Structure 1
Amino acid sequence: MELRQLRYFVAIADSGSFTKAAERVYVAQSALSHQLAQLEDELGTPLFDRSRRGVELTEAGQRFFPHAVSILRQAEEALASARSTDEEPEGKVVFGIPHSASNALALPLLREVRQRLPKVTLELTEELTGNLTRQLRTGQIQLAVLFEDGQLGGFSVTRVLSEQLHLIEPEDASPTPAKGRPPVRPLSLRQALSRPLILPASPHGVRPIIEAAAAMAGLPPPRVEADISSISILRTTLLAGMGRTLLPVMPLLPEIQAGLLRVTPVTRLDRTLAVCSSAQIPRSPACQAVAELAVALMQRLSSSGEWSGSRPLTAAKAHD
């Protein structure tokens, strides 16, 4: 098995076509097909189903794909590590951010890396937390912001900040202006869980955190009336008056500030955000530099109030 065979395989999978893949990797289509045939012979199974519409991964190809991506990225990272210095790291770093944290972190992180790490290429990917966890384990991404929910075994974990969860629901048509209302009293966990909720599908987002908090308090699990794992769809649903959710304020801050959504803090319910990497795959100088920069940036955003509803934690690193 050769790295070029893996590159050709990934190019075909991404392109859905031998012709487009050959153009992408700058080889003749006959050479590409020959190398893929050798790879399939070595693996003892076809990796693609071929038809007039193009090519699709077989079940074996789907299982093989994340490993191929991981191997190629680790090879690139090893090459970049050899060329890097601690003073001037270089290379590509793939950083995963959950949907509910991207509007707080993505743009500031991109700006910070461009300014302070000019030889590092940062690729940001926005995903559900369950997908980020899987991609981090297989090496498809090098760093990710994850929630500390008891499922971070096998990762190097740096706890960075905590966010309180709020009950977020459509603003009612009360004639009393929001500024003239009495201060909002926090809800107990029992009160919050007694309401029907819209939550991400398990095991994504805050769902495991809420279920674990309920179990620890001896309460029934949340009453989920709809599973919505997309922040944009959730926003539309809430604005249409079709339910309520439990989330930190930051993902829906513009709508909250505009008075379109009402928030009520919930006691004893928060989530901890951590910068994570694989404990088995060494960090390159570029990866280490981005991780340190992300931790400092997140704490600064929290301390300054720019990351609304959060509080910084003492960044304690743990290898699980």
Structure 2
Amino acid sequence: MELRQLRYFVAIVDHGSLSRAARVLHIVQPALTQQLQLLEQELGAQLLHRSAQGMSATDAGKLFYEHAQAILKQVGDAKSAVAQSALRPTGTVALGIPQSVSGALALPLLMAVREKYPEISLQLTEELSGNLIEQLKSGRINLAVLFDDGQLAPFIVKPMIEEQMMYITCANSRFAHLGTSIDLAAALQVPLILPGYQHGVRPRIENLVRHAGLAIGDVIDINSVAILKSALLADMGATILPVAPLLSEIERGEMIALPIADSHISRTVVLCASKNIPLTNAASAVERLVLEVAQTLCDSGRWLGASSLM
């Protein structure tokens, strides 16, 4: 198996056509077809469906595509690591950020990278944390912002933020609470809009409520941050969440966040790298900058409800 065969296969999947892939790769189509056939023979599996509409990956092809992408990225990282200067890092760095953190961290980080390391191309991936863990394990991303749930042993973990969860409603909501804080029992009396159980936030809330001897009543389960925002703005209920995913709406005055006075609900945000795949100079520079930006956001109060662990 050759690296060029991996590049050829990825190009065919990306472009959905042998002819289009051949044009992009600057090779003749018969040569591309031959290399694909050799690859399928070596793997003992059909990787692509061929039809009048083009080409698409089989189940085996989809699995191989993920590995091929990871291998090609690691080869590119290795070349960059040799070519880079530690004082002037260059290259591409892929960083994964959960949807519920990107609202606070993504834009400040992008601006900081462009200002301090203009020769680094930062690729931000916004995903559920479970997807980011798999991508970090396979080497498809260099770094990931994750939540410390005690299951991060495969990674090098650097604590960043302790993020407080708050009671959040739209401004002038019928579920708004007078005062500067709210008790947990009072927060549980209103319809709550919460992420599903596959999100790390939900089990933390459920466990705290159970330990307090209380119960959650009416819950609207929504896994999309965008839809959850819309439901809050439509005054369908309140939520208990970290501020980060709703930071823009709170800063604009569209939503209000109150601390829960008698209960401490929080999550620990960490920065992770693989123990098995070394970071390039560019990735190490971005790693340091992520920690610096998070520290600055905490110190300035721009990341509401967050305290630094650095």
> What TM-score does the superposition give when structure 2 sets the normalisation length?
0.89
Which whole-Å deviations, capped at 9, do the CAs of 1:207-246 have from their partners, x for residues lacking one? 344345557x376886673432222111111111223322
Aligned CA distance change for structure 1 residues 117 and 219 (closer, same or farther; 3 Å):
farther
Pairing 1:271–2:267 present: yes
* Cross-structure match for 1:239: 233
Pairing 1:285–2:281 present: yes
* Cross-structure match for 1:297: 293
* Cross-structure match for 2:242: 248
Offset of 1:58 from its aligned partner? 1.1
Offset of 1:27 from its aligned partner? 2.1
Match of 2:307 among 302, 306, 311: 311
Pairing 1:227–2:221 present: yes
For 2:280 and 2:207, the matched residues in 1 are separated by: 35
* Cross-structure match for 1:47: 47
Aligned CA distance change for structure 1 residues 164 and 82 (closer, same or farther; 3 Å):
same
Offset of 1:277 from its aligned partner? 1.2
Q: Pairwise CA RMSD of aligned residues?
A: 2.4
For 1:141 and 1:222, the matched residues in 2 are separated by: 38
Check conservation: 2:191, 2:236, Cα contact below 8 A: no
Check conservation: 2:18, 2:33, Cα contact below 8 A: yes
Pairing 1:197–2:192 present: yes
Consecutive unaligned residues in structure 1, runs of 5 or more: 315-320
* Cross-structure match for 2:26: 26
Q: Which amino acid aligns with 2:195?
A: P
Which whole-Å deviations, capped at 9, do the CAs of 1:78-107 have from their partners, x for residues lacking one? 000111122222221101111122122222
3-state SS, counterpart of residue 180 of structure 2: coil
Aligned CA distance change for structure 1 residues 99 and 30 (closer, same or farther; 3 Å):
same
For 1:160 and 1:81, the matched residues in 2 are separated by: 26
Residues 65-76 of structure 1 mapped to structure 2, 5 A cutoff: 65-76=65-76
Consecutive unaligned residues in structure 2, runs of 5 or more: none
Which whole-Å deviations, capped at 9, do the CAs of 1:39-84 have from their partners, x for residues lacking one? 1111100111121122221111122222111111100000001111
Offset of 1:307 from its aligned partner? 1.5
* Cross-structure match for 1:157: 157
Aligned CA distance change for structure 1 residues 171 and 117 (closer, same or farther; 3 Å):
closer
For 2:86 and 2:215, the matched residues in 1 are separated by: 48
For 2:251 and 2:168, the matched residues in 1 are separated by: 12
Aligned residue pairs: how many? 307
> What TM-score does the superposition give when structure 1 sets the normalisation length?
0.87
Identity of aligned residues (%): 45
